[in-house]
């Protein structure tokens, strides 16, 4: 038995135009690439293998099971083409449950320790392997970087297996590689803390499924959907017979929008406004009866309008108690909202 | 419930950026309330006191009601702080009416105080943000201006109304505030000034937002049947209503109506046993211009989506068909958070006794006050009459 490579995806941040946006880091960049390979939550949480190749802080190891919605067997490989190759071989050769590999790094050169990755490539394997889909997992000679190696591996492999799917844009990666910038996010400090709005870490952790996966609860008795999940149906008050459902995190319908100008922001967002100016916040409908308030990122304030659809991505939200807190932010859908109205 | 309680005295400090601290403000407002009782009153007869405050002064949150006892000269009696954010005042009055209506109290003091302008800007904004949903709304980057900005965007889009409907509320309330010696802002503004102001939470600009104000107000509440021992012109509490809703706006079915206000209004009119057509004027919770439009619709004085047109047509002006916020409202008179509901009742007291001076609504016989906590999580509606 062996696993089959089902899907690969690249995520190349462009909110920093070019480069990562101010609210991205190695964790969110890797998470975004991973999410592209696995749009659906596993119905029955089974142990999942996840190999991290490259710079993702070990201090966030606890976060992967939450993001992926079940137990995770976490492995780390060296940030090198051979490390990636080893991780892919292990994922392909295993047999129990799905396996994910995510490699983060720079597209053009080797990433030095501590440097922010500018691209991530994720691979999703699940068994069993089909006939004739022999995976060649040796990196091509002359790959300049880890990620180049990852892309080369997928190209070589997918040529032999029409069933595996690439989610992403090869052409875009190639075209924009030349424009890559070493720009790093400006906000890397957790020093400037909130003037009072406080969310204890335990409450932050408690609500992460709703934050990161848009986990809601569907009531078995009245079919009402409650978001965020609180262990109680908002429609009928029942606390039993609730089923956790992850609502789609893309294509949410914008029902209200505002642009927060200078002075309108809570103090937690002072550094952001000082450096980057106004930002947009929307109220978006994930499903009937389930709405969420999201800051909009990678966009021009005012770009998103009522009636638009927005996607969402995991980003840094705010700093508290010396750590970054993460959650979803809205991003405009490609091709929507760009034209004049 | 008709005529269970009456107001026989009321006091009000100036609103604005004041030198006095919360103790001095409470003392002034309470003294003014005692002095206003036509036949006089012995302070030692006050047997219950209710303090409405959110931040007090940003430093004495716990047990601040004891300070009201000290400063009002009634120390020793039971004192209770009532906190429902911006609706604290309306709910404190409700508590006092319940106390005298049930026979538990013979003379209750209600006071509101807020002191916000002497703390650094960042701490002030902290206080302005503590009463909304912290985890999902504030930490997505919203203060109340932002939450009302979302609501305003939805309202304008849903009802095909232009932003001038919002601006018209500011223009009207500033015109009223100009006539009120206690008001924070006493300058009229023009529509084009409102439209050109910097955007705080688009579509809301600076002139769509109420100011941060210091100030206090106080009321003396007695059982209705005792009222004429104190004055020939008591103001009766004819109807009371209150409601609540989810703290987070994202958990509500409707963005452009506050179900807490609707429930409070229905209850108040039912308990008063009167019609909307008998109300002479309204004091509504216009923390942002959009909130006055929502209020007119939630209280049943305008069909949904029509409040803007009504305002633009001048129907809610001081000399209009239904004057709204003759004291300038939160928008121009100011909004010392916990004080506001008490100050609205003060305005009803003055108007219904014909002592409102330049801003007097001619022939006012019945008033409705509407006090909202946050973005509609709590609401209190009170109907006052002169019997």
Is the residue at A191 inside a domain? no
Residues A23 and A60 grouped into a single domain: yes
Minimum mean pLDDT range among A37-41, B20-24, B372-376: A37-41
| Close Cβ partners of A53 (under 8 Å, ≥ 6 residues apart) | A76, A77, A78, A79, A83, A84, A87, A101, A102, A103, A104, A146
Q: Does residue A182 form part of some domain?
A: no
Tell me if chain B has a CB within 8 Å of the CB of A198: yes
Same structural domain, A121 and A161: yes
Query: CB of A317 within 8 Å of any CB in chain B?
Result: yes
pLDDT tens-place string over residues A16-33: 777 788 999 999 999 999
Chain B residues with CB under 8 Å of A261 CB are 198-202
A291 and A336 assigned to the same domain: yes
Which is more confident, B129 or B67?
B67
The answer on pLDDT for A42 being more than 60 is: no
Rg of chain B over Cα atoms, rounded to whole angstroms, equals: 19
Total of domains in chain A: 3
- Give the distance from residue B71's alpha carbon to the nearest chain A alpha carbon, in angstroms: 29
Q: What is the CATH number of the domain that holds A129?
A: 3.40.47
Q: How far is CA B65 from CA A172, A251, B131, B291, in A?
A: 65, 50, 20, 29
Chain B environment of A291 (Cβ under 8 Å): 250-251
The percent of residues in chain B predicted with pLDDT above 70, rounded, is 99
pLDDT given at position A38 = 72
Residues of A in contact with B136 (CB under 8 A): 228, 292-293
Clarify whether residues A326 and A270 are in a common domain. yes
A292 contacts in chain B (CB < 8 Å): 136, 250
Q: Rg of the Cα trace of chain A? A: 20
Distance from CA of A117 to the nearest CA of B (A): 25
**Cα A34–Cα A336–Cα B199 angle in degrees, nearest 5:** 105
Mean pLDDT of B266-290: 98
Q: Is residue A278 part of a domain?
A: yes
- Residue A339 and residue A298 in one domain: yes
Q: What is the pLDDT of residues B295-344, one digit of tens each?
A: 999 999 999 999 999 999 999 999 999 999 999 999 999 999 999 999 99
Q: What is the mean pLDDT of chain A?
A: 81
| Whole-angstrom distance, CA of residue A236 vs CA of residue B285 | 31
Whether A50 and A160 share a structural domain: yes
The b-or-e profile of A213-241 (16+ CB within 10 A means b, else e) is bbbbbbbeeeebbbbbbbeebbeeeeeee
The answer to whether residues A171 and A63 belong to one domain is: yes
DSSP percent split of chain B into helix, strand, coil, nearest 5:
40, 20, 40
pLDDT(A135) > 60: no
What is the helix, strand, coil percentage profile of chain A, to 5? 25, 30, 50
pLDDT tens sequence across A202-228: 999 999 999 999 999 999 999 999 999
Whether residues A10 and A159 fall in one domain: yes
In this structure, the answer to whether residues A152 and A219 fall within a common structural domain is no
Q: Are residues A149 and A272 in the same domain?
A: no
Q: Which residue from A minimizes the CA distance to B201?
A: A260
**pLDDT tens column, A187-203:** 556 655 555 678 899 99
Mean pLDDT, residues A283-301 taken together: 96
Q: Is the pLDDT of residue B293 over 70?
A: yes
A185 within domain boundaries = no
pLDDT band at B281; cut points 50, 70, 90: very high
What structural domains and CATH numbers belong to chain B?
Answer: 5-119+213-232 (3.40.47.10), 133-210+237-385 (3.40.47.10)
Q: Cα(A278)–Cα(A260) distance, rounded to whole angstroms?
A: 5
Q: Given CB atoms, is A241 within the 8 Å cutoff of chain B?
A: no
Q: What is the DSSP letter of B16?
A: B
The verdict on residue A60 lying in a domain is yes
Q: Packing angle between helix B340-352 and helix B88-101, nearest 10 degrees? A: 60
Out of A207, A292, A306, the one facing B154 most closely (by C-beta) is: A306
**Using CB atoms, which residue from B140, B153, B249 is nearest to A257?**
B153
A293 belongs to a structural domain: yes
CB–CB contact B138 A268 (8 Å): yes
Specify which of A86-100, A124-138, A157-171, B307-321 reaches the highest per-range mean pLDDT. B307-321
Question: How confident is the model over B79-137, as pLDDT tens digits?
Answer: 999 999 999 999 999 999 999 999 999 999 999 999 989 988 888 887 877 889 989 99
Owner of token pair 């801003």:
B359
pLDDT tens for each residue of B333-372:
999 999 999 999 999 999 999 999 999 999 999 999 999 9
**Strand bridging mode A48-53 / A99-105:** parallel
> What is the complex's ipTM, to 2 decimals?
0.94
Average pLDDT over residues A282-288: 97
Of A123-127, A144-148, A273-277, the range with the lowest mean pLDDT is A144-148
Report CB contact under 8 Å: B141, A197. Answer: no
In the numeric block, the tokens 């089909």 are attached to A130
Q: Is the domain of A223 the same as that of A257?
A: no
Q: Has residue B174 got a pLDDT over 50?
A: yes
- Specify if A192 maps to a domain: no
Higher-pLDDT residue of B219, A110: B219
Report residue A158's pLDDT band, with 50, 70 and 90 as the boundaries. Answer: low
Residue given tokens 């009937």 in the structure block:
A288
Comparing CB atoms, the residue among B134, B146, B153 nearest residue A306 is B153
Is pLDDT of A152 > 90? Answer: no
Q: What is the mean pLDDT of residues A237-248?
A: 96
Q: Does A266 touch chain B (CB under 8 A)?
A: yes
pLDDT bucket at B11, cuts 50 / 70 / 90: very high
Q: Are B380 and B359 in contact (CB under 8 A)?
A: no
Q: Which residues in B lie closer than 8 A to residue A276 (C-beta atoms)?
A: none
Compute the average pLDDT of residues A241-255. 96
Cβ pair A258:B136 closer than 8 A: no
* Residue A264 to residue B134, Cβ atoms within 8 A: no
Residue A190 inside a domain? The answer is: no
Q: State which residues form the domain around A335.
A: 198-207+249-341
Give the closest residue to A187 by CA, choosing from A113, A257, A279: A279
Q: What is the pLDDT of residue A137?
A: 57
Confidence at residue A184, expressed as pLDDT on a 0 to 100 scale: 44
Query: A225 and A152 in one domain?
Result: no
Determine the average pLDDT of the residues in B182-188.
Answer: 97
């Amino acid at each position: 038995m062996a696993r089959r490579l089902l899907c690969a995806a690249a995520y190349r941040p462009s909110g920093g135009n070019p480069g990562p946006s101010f609210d991205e880091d190695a964790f969110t960049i890797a998470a975004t690439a991973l999410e592209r390979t696995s749009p659906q939550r596993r119905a029955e949480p089974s142990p999942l293998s996840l190999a991290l190749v490259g710079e993702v802080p070990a201090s966030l190891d606890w976060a992967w099971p939450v993001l992926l919605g079940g137990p995770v067997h976490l492995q780390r490989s060296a940030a090198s083409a051979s490390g990636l190759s080893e991780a892919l071989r292990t994922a392909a050769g295993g047999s129990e449950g799905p396996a994910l590999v995510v490699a983060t790094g720079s597209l053009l050169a080797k990433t030095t320790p501590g440097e922010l990755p500018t691209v991530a490539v994720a691979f999703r394997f699940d068994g069993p392997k089909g006939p004739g889909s022999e995976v060649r997992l040796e990196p091509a000679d002359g790959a300049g970087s880890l990620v180049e190696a990852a892309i080369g591996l997928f190209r070589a492999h997918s040529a032999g297996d029409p069933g595996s799917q690439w989610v992403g844009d090869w052409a875009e990666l190639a075209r924009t590689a030349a424009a890559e910038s070493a720009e790093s996010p400006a906000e890397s400090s957790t020093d400037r803390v909130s003037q009072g709005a406080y969310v204890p870490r335990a409450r932050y952790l408690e609500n992460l499924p709703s934050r990161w996966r848009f986990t809601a609860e569907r009531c078995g008795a009245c079919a009402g959907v409650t978001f965020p999940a609180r262990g109680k149906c908002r429609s009928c008050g029942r606390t039993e017979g609730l089923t956790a459902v992850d609502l789609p995190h893309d294509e949410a319908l914008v029902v209200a929008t505002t642009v927060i100008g200078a002075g309108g922001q809570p103090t937690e967002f002072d550094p952001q406004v000082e450096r980057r100016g106004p930002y947009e916040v929307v109220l978006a409908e994930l499903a009937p009866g389930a709405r969420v308030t999201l800051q909009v990122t990678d966009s021009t304030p005012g770009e998103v309008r009522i009636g638009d659809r927005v996607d969402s991505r995991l980003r840094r939200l705010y700093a508290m108690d010396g750590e970054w807190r993460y959650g979803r932010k809205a991003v405009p859908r490609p091709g929507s909202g760009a034209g004049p109205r | 419930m008709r005529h269970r309680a009456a107001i026989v005295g009321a006091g009000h400090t100036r609103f604005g950026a004041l030198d006095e601290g919360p103790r001095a403000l409470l003392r002034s407002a309470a003294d003014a309330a005692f002095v206003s009782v036509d036949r006089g009153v012995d302070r030692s007869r006050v047997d219950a006191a209710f303090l409405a405050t959110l931040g007090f002064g940003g430093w004495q949150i716990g047990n601040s009601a004891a300070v009201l006892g000290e400063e009002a000269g009634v120390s020793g009696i039971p004192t209770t702080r009532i906190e429902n954010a911006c609706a604290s005042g309306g709910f404190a009055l409700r508590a006092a009416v319940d106390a005298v209506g049930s026979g538990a109290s013979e003379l209750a003091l209600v006071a509101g105080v807020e002191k916000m302008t002497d703390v650094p800007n960042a701490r002030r904004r902290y206080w302005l943000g503590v009463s909304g949903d912290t985890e999902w709304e504030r930490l997505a980057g919203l203060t109340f201006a932002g939450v009302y900005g979302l609501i305003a965007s939805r309202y304008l889009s849903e009802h095909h109304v232009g932003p001038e409907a919002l601006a018209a509320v500011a223009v009207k309330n500033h015109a009223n505030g100009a006539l009120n010696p206690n008001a924070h802002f006493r300058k009229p503004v023009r529509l084009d000034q409102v439209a050109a102001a910097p955007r705080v939470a688009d579509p809301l600009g600076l002139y769509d937002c109420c100011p941060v104000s210091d100030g206090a107000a106080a009321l003396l509440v007695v059982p209705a049947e005792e009222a004429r021992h104190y004055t020939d012109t008591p103001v009766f509490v004819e109807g009371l209503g209150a409601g609540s809703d989810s703290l987070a706006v994202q958990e509500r079915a409707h963005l452009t109506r506050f179900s807490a206000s609707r429930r409070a209004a229905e209850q108040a009119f039912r308990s008063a046993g009167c019609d909307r057509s008998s109300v002479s004027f309204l004091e509504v919770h216009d923390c942002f211009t959009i909130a006055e439009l929502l209020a007119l619709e939630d209280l049943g004085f305008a069909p949904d989506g029509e409040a803007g047109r009504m305002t633009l047509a001048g129907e809610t002006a001081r000399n209009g068909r239904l004057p709204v916020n003759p004291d300038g409202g939160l928008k121009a008179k100011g909004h010392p958070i916990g004080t506001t509901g008490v100050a609205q009742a003060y305005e009803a007291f003055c108007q219904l006794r014909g002592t409102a001076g330049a801003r007097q609504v001619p022939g006012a016989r019945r008033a409705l006050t509407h006090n909202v906590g946050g973005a509609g999580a709590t609401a209190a509606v009170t109907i006052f009459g002169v019997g």
